[in-house]
Amino acid sequence: MRPVTTLELLATPAEVSGVRRALRSYGIDVQLCASELVTNVIRHVGEGVPVTVRVWREEGGRVRLAVTDPDPRALPVLVGAVGAEEESGRGLALLDALAVRWGVEQEAGRKTVWCEVFVEAGASGTPERPGRRRRSAGALGHSSARS
C-alpha cells in the first residue's frame, strides 16, 4: 500500500512544527509520535540530515507512521525511568504509550522507525482507542466555560 502522506525534509527543530501541522488531519497522537521521532533524529543522528516521514491509513482505524533517516546504527532505546529533573528521555516512552505497536526496520544505509496508532476515521482531534478514555477539558485542569 502506498503512503497517503509523504514528507521529505531536513531534520531541524523548525521542521518539527511543520511536520505537526502537515499531519494535523491524522489527530494529536500521530502528531506527537511524528514530533518525537523527528526530534530523535535531530538529537541522535544530527541536525540537517534528510528524513522521510510517511503515513498510511490502515484497516481497523489505525494509522501507520514511519520516519526514515540515513543512520542504521543509531537505534532507538526505550528508557525505563527518567528522573523528574531530566530534560529529555521521555520521547519513546510517550510513543510507546500512544502506539498500538512500534518497531525499527534496518536496511543498508538507513533505518525506519515506525508506529501504529488508533484514530477515528476523519478525526482531527484527540482520537479514541480501545481501552482509552477521553479526558474532558475539566479533567485536564482547563475550564471549557468562558468567564
Between residues 88 and 36, which one has the greater pLDDT? Answer: 36
pLDDT at 15: 96
Which DSSP string do the residues of the chain spell out, in sequence order? Answer: ---SEEEEEE--HHHHHHHHHHTGGG-HHHHHHHHHHHHHHHHHT-TT-EEEEEEEE-GGGEEEEEEEES-TT------S---TT-SS--HHHHHHHH-SEEEEEEETTEEEEEEEEE--TT--SPPPBTTBPPPPTGGGT---S--
Q: Report how far Cα 133 is from the mean position of its chain's Cα atoms.
A: 20
pLDDT at 130: 42
Full-model pTM: 0.75
pLDDT tens, position by position, 37-86: 999 999 999 999 999 999 999 888 899 999 999 998 887 776 665 555 55
> Residue 4: is its pLDDT beyond 80?
yes
Dist CA 66 CA 68 (whole Å):
6
